[in-house]
Amino acid sequence: MMNVNYTKVDVNDPAVVALATEMNATTKEVAAIINQQRYRSAYNRLQLQRMKVVRRLVKEHPELLEGGK
């Protein structure tokens, strides 16, 4: 399991309140959308770092793809 670290936005944040007013939505909905986007962005960054390591490992040791024969 991967531990994804990101900064959550608060429903009482002035920017969230202003955006919710503009969108005619609740602050809870706007905060959820922003937090989901931040989580996804942080998750993708972690995945890219992990895949970079895997690609380098496979490039250095192509025998790993042969199933350990």
- Contact at 8 Å (CB) between 42 and 6? yes
Residue 69 has pLDDT above 80, yes or no: no
pLDDT reported for residue 14: 97
Residue 34 inside a domain? The answer is yes
pLDDT digits (tens, 9 = 90+) for 28-49: 999 999 999 999 999 999 999 9
Residue 56 inside a domain? The answer is yes
pLDDT digits (tens, 9 = 90+) for 44-62: 999 999 999 999 999 999 8
Residue 23 inside a domain? The answer is yes
Count the domains in the chain: 1
Residue 6 inside a domain? The answer is no
Domain interval for residue 41: 14-66
The DSSP annotation for 7-66 comes to: PPPPTT-HHHHHHHHHHT--HHHHHHHHHHHHHHHHHHHHHHHHHHHHHHHHHH-GGGGG
- Rounded to two decimals, what is the model's pTM? 0.79
Residue 2 inside a domain? The answer is no
